[in-house]
Structure 1
Amino acid sequence: MPRRLLRLRAADPTRINAELDELRTRMGITAEFPPAVLAEAELAAAAPRLPALDATDLPLFTLDPPGSLDLDQAMHLARRPGGGYRVHYAIADVAAFVRPGGAVDAEARRRVQTLYFPDRPIPLHPAVLSEGAASLLPGQSRPALLWRIDLDADGALVIADVRRALVRSRRRLDYAAVQQAVDGGRPDEQLTLLAEFGLARELQEQARGGVSLPLPEQEIEATSHGYRPTYRAPRPADGWNAQVSLLTGMAAAELMLDAGVGLLRTLPTAPDSAYQRLRRCAHALYVPWPPALDYPALIRSLDPHLPHHAAFLNECTGLLRGAAYHAFDIGRGLLPPADPGHAALAAPYTHCTAPLRRLADRFAQEVCLAVAAGDEVPAWVRESLDAVPGLMAGGERRAHEVERACVALVEAELLRGREGEDFDAVVIDLDERRPAHGTVQLAEPAVRARCEGAGTRLPLGERIRVRLTRADPLTRTVRFAPA
């Protein structure tokens, strides 16, 4: 499970870009915005609704992948007198630019979320907003939702508040630079606090029984020579940044539950049968799982660089299936779920920190603002809440389809013409009904694909040699067999 970027032949960008255009056409995904949407966005960018509160003196910073322009969040951390932390977290105020019922609003409800293709993103909102007037770019005054969250010395939530404010980010950082500064012993005060805060919140997560799977992500990297798949393992800085967003989402969920109106992101607790299956898998992979050791503690004990641990972590993703959005408004007869929690976080949670890229967050933001101020939730929000879960479910299915299709296309193009070659791989999954079939992960190139044997059970979690039997970019198909 390599962390490094792999140096290998890249897939031809000309062929890939043409096939990506065809893929978007087949999926009915339109990159261009209608003229009416662009015109309305231009007007909104020139004259947004500005808040009364001026918080531009707060030295915020953003933390995103290099080159990102759609910056949803900016933060500032400080120590509280007497111990603990104060987190200011600014979230782009999309509602300051998007008129309910207008052309931009209607187009956002159709698109639901930003889709990421290797050659370019297909944004939720026009670039004049998502990468311009609404983005928390450094040195620019922007309308935002400014959360102020106080924590005690152990990182537990004390109180949270949110209001509209004008903010100005001072600098734009990326994960690698933050990690390098911390590891090299050269962090400034903000990065020191971010690391402290992140570790404190991770301990809080452990105490709640929450769990995060440290699985490397398979990504498509655009290079000067073309596209290539890579594996990227999450850095500690990724986790620290995620904890700020997770904290805000949990605080927002509590606000909405107390008010009886809102939009949750839920994940049901996996059934006992799923854990029993995992115990059988752990036994097969020689992963020690004593009866007294609970599942979250087991996950924290694993090293994703070990092939059998990585294979087990891959099997654990099955516990995360079933995540969904749930709208509720007791005053209108929409009840909250019987179990409002998110099983992986061991707490109620909502998406509210990425409104430039995800439709649901704008609605959650507006509910939280109204509740925090003691105001009525806007009618346009309440009237739309029950439709948002269905819209988001469709958008997530489409995003997953796009991601899988793009990865499969680049993999097939990269391996085209290499049928018959052997590769080193690790078996990371088995087909329970046909254990001679499963999924293998190659070391180089960074490819995951089906491996179909001829009757012999694949050795889950072990290294094997596999032979490429098919690489077809037209059908986006890659297949291996045991060598």
Structure 2
Amino acid sequence: MVRLRDEVLSADGETLRAGIAAIQAELEVTPEFPPDVEQAAQQAAKNPRLPDLDRTDLPFVTIDPATAMDLDQALHLERNTQSGGYTVYYAIADVGAFVRPGDPVDEEAHKRGETLYGADSKVPLYPKALSEDAASLLADQVRPALLWTIELDGDGDTLAARVERARVRSRAKLSYAEVQAQLDAGTADPVFTLLRDVGERRLAKEAERGGVSLPLPEQEVRVDGEHWSLEFRQQHPVEQWNAQISLLTGMTAATFMVEARTGLLRTLAPADPRDVKRLRRTAKALRIEWPENQSYPDFVRSLDPATPSHAAMLVACTRLLRGSGYVGFAGELPEHTGHSAIAADYAHVTAPLRRLVDRYALEICVALSAGDDVPGWVVDRLGELPKTMQASTRRANQYERAVLDLVEAAVLQPYVGESFDGVVVDLDDRDARKGDVTIREPAVEAPISHARELPLGTDIRARLAAADPRTRTIRFELA
């Protein structure tokens, strides 16, 4: 919990839930489902189409945030004594075992596109009877899954891969904090030591490819009964290793689809050289050394988000990651298939309980892996799905930002006129007297202004000039 003068900075949960209800009304979204959709989901939950292949012998586990119930992925890793490498087993929830094309649940999912997250108020893609129960890879339950088997050599390069429908059973539902604590204490199950080994090798491969991920701390709303507060959370190393397994699977899926010239890819165009030059000017202004022969990904990996100037630099680097989208194709490859941040072709296939597009990409891959034709109902949707996902992603970003703005304003409202420690992390392109400040306690990102140019990347004292939960706005001034 964040404290100021030995006082917990928090807001009343009842007030905030009313504010979130207003946000849902504005965006025309709701966690509730029409009666026919709810009824169809409950009926489907009772009658899953279980595949013949039984892989309940594999001791899968899930690793997620502690409170998560929509568990898309379960993993198991083994040493491959013959190749000297690793075998990665990655089970993905099989939504297709419950949802049929054109049924009420399917049609509602196309309207929603993806799950919206905001504090404790989630707007799910599928009814909870499926997403948090029958289709979720919960511990000690036999579940239908799309099982990826990926063979890696000792360096972490892919040797072979396949995906097939199978019955699986997770042995345990674990949190990132639990697994990290076990690894740090030396008491972790050997599978997590293998996860670390594979994760580190895949991170090295990412660096070789020229891929990049920004190590920015995540801003989170913490709910403790009726008290809501804000904090910045650094990722545990195990989260990065786990993410590499997901990236590996997404890259493998993309390879399947590009080779077959039928698929759905997640894309990001290469950065405009002018934007990279601009970043170099920002680094110079922040007095951060960026050698001419050092690539952008290597430069990012050299930054420490705990250093104020580096935190501002990382915020500036996010500009190169904007503009991602989806592309669907059948018969002819699009002009651009790659994802520049990953430095490879990539597809979303590991979160079908939370993202509509994953279900379609998975159906393509399981057909291609078996040597079968891609189902017609999948091919028929390839043209419209990128637009559906673009709209839903925009809505999800709006929802998450609105909830954060609401909580920030509610938490800070009693402290208007007070000063806080912070860092100026961004300047307005047209007016350097305006910008954004990151406040450490409570964890807030907000606009700031001053009569003169703001000191980018510098520790400052910021005075809270306004905080209004009704308009979800906050404004700071340089103290």
TM-score normalised according to structure 1 size: 0.97
Is the CA contact (8 Å cut-off) linking 2:2 and 2:9 kept in structure 1?
no
1:436 positional shift: 0.5
Please report the RMSD computed on the Cα atoms of aligned residues, expressed in angstroms. 0.9
1:437 is matched with 434
Distance between the aligned counterparts of 1:373 and 1:471, measured in 2? 57
2:197 is matched with 196
The letter for the 2-side match of 1:196 is D
- Number of residues paired by the alignment? 474
1:41 is matched with 41
The letter for the 1-side match of 2:380 is E
Question: Is the partner of 1:31 in helix, strand or coil?
Answer: coil
Distance between the aligned counterparts of 1:412 and 1:276, measured in 2? 36
Is the CA contact (8 Å cut-off) linking 1:303 and 1:310 kept in structure 2?
yes
> Given the alignment, which residue of 448, 452, 460 partners 2:449?
452
> Given the alignment, which residue of 399, 410, 425 partners 2:422?
425
Which whole-Å deviations, capped at 9, do the CAs of 1:141-191 have from their partners, x for residues lacking one? 000000000000000111110000000011111111111111122222111
1:389 is matched with 386
1:52 is matched with 52
The letter for the 2-side match of 1:370 is A
1:284 is matched with 285
Distance between the aligned counterparts of 1:83 and 1:284, measured in 2? 48
1:237 is matched with 238
Is the CA contact (8 Å cut-off) linking 1:55 and 1:165 kept in structure 2?
yes
1:225 positional shift: 4.3
2:66 is matched with 66
What does 1:23-422 align with in structure 2 at a 5 Å threshold? 23-81=23-81, 82-330=83-331, 335-422=332-419
The letter for the 1-side match of 2:269 is P
1:361 positional shift: 0.2
Distance between the aligned counterparts of 2:458 and 2:273, measured in 1? 27
Distance between the aligned counterparts of 1:337 and 1:84, measured in 2? 34
Question: Is the partner of 2:39 in helix, strand or coil?
Answer: helix
Is the CA contact (8 Å cut-off) linking 2:40 and 2:104 kept in structure 1?
yes
Is the CA contact (8 Å cut-off) linking 1:326 and 1:336 kept in structure 2?
no
2:467 is matched with 471
1:339 positional shift: 2.4
Is the CA contact (8 Å cut-off) linking 2:211 and 2:340 kept in structure 1?
yes
Distance between the aligned counterparts of 2:422 and 2:333, measured in 1? 46
| Unmatched segments (≥5 aa) in structure 1 | none
Distance between the aligned counterparts of 2:242 and 2:174, measured in 1? 11
1:117 positional shift: 2.2
The letter for the 1-side match of 2:132 is E
Is the CA contact (8 Å cut-off) linking 1:10 and 1:225 kept in structure 2?
no
Question: Is the partner of 1:414 in helix, strand or coil?
Answer: helix
Distance between the aligned counterparts of 1:433 and 1:120, measured in 2? 37
Worse-superposed segment, 345-354 or 7-16: 7-16
| Unmatched segments (≥5 aa) in structure 2 | none
1:14 positional shift: 1.3
Is the CA contact (8 Å cut-off) linking 2:416 and 2:467 kept in structure 1?
yes
The letter for the 1-side match of 2:437 is V
1:417 positional shift: 3.0
Distance between the aligned counterparts of 2:212 and 2:416, measured in 1? 40
Is the CA contact (8 Å cut-off) linking 1:116 and 1:122 kept in structure 2?
yes
The letter for the 2-side match of 1:429 is D
Worse-superposed segment, 192-201 or 27-36: 27-36
Distance between the aligned counterparts of 2:414 and 2:207, measured in 1? 48
Question: Is the partner of 2:414 in helix, strand or coil?
Answer: coil
1:415 positional shift: 1.0
Worse-superposed segment, 87-96 or 114-123: 114-123
